[in-house]
Chain A
């Protein structure tokens, strides 16, 4: 348990450290907002249209495939930690798990999900 109090303390410190100079910058630095400075950057011309982007399904699909692989590897971590003591049967079970997910990758590849258009 005391292992994790260090992480809790470091979390608080690591969130405070960058916040201090940013706050100091706001306080010390010049603050002269004018409409031209505050306008949003669009290659030096006026903004055209609302701030939204065309829905490109690629962004969503890459995050989705990553999610599936993330969960797979998370399942494999306990298996990897117990690896040295496992019988061959246990190792083959893990390999079957990996192969099933390699199939998922092959499916996504063939369906053109992994193309960045």
Chain B
């Protein structure tokens, strides 16, 4: 087998050195009756070429050749080939969690740079590296607020990503948290009046997303004010990080939970991505996840170490801030490289293109009889449209034109049937937008 570096003779030599006659003897501690006698029934062995062939065949059964208008927490953005060149260097790819700081300064400094970039983006003071994704980051942010406030009620806006809310509910159920949902207004933003009515002095966290699941930007200052007045913490989730190139960061938030997928990570059918928690310095000791800190060695040279480990499970065991161990380090590195490549101007320009194309797409769609925009608050690169008939039927038509249509909202929001969430990024060309509008127009002209 090509991955195994031993010849039969070397194996024999090693067995002899150990003082056993056969490899079987080394497994003698496994009771005889439980040792497998038959080979496992799994396919293979495959040569490298066969492995590639298998996956190319599977790839061909997917969506190659289609233009997609899906976003909803997973975004298709330009990615430089430089990012992959960096993260495929074996020194990054095949290195372990940097507990041995002297020989992992590369990873540690990159994590420190990641933390800095995340602080700059979110307007927060400290950021961890990293959580599994936006959904678990949001959940861990709520658990952090619970520890900081000692309270158990959580108010989460219904305009937060449905899957983030689902994950929060799974974790909450056994942590004694009570999760209540706050409706959205006709503008698509969180209903501040309903929030105010639900806010009492037992609320640990108010969770909103911005841009929210409908693509709409929330006005955070009054939400923060109301939350803080009742002694709770404002958690702001961000699923589309590119928005931060143009949209004011959530400086009013006590904790920001961000999905970093938009920063150089492929959609990859939903993962691996990287979650981030950013917050205030004063809350750092209740933060979950890994943190790299700057320090010096005996000779005064700058270096980096994993720090504040007394929060973590390998030291604190059942008293840890989280059970997270393995995180999404290589994804965080990809985001670091990607954002460094984009830089200040590149990120601004990317955000500007997203905004412009989404505005253009909306104006094209609104030209189609029967298509209306739902919600009127400002949006970034996603918006909700209302159709005169079922989104499912329309999308089935669009598929014939090799277009993957917008996300039907009726599944997650029963009151939003015939509404769809359209996403347009800098990767969507004008031609594709016009083709989509044309196909949609034709689809709506078809008799049902």
| A-B interaction | no
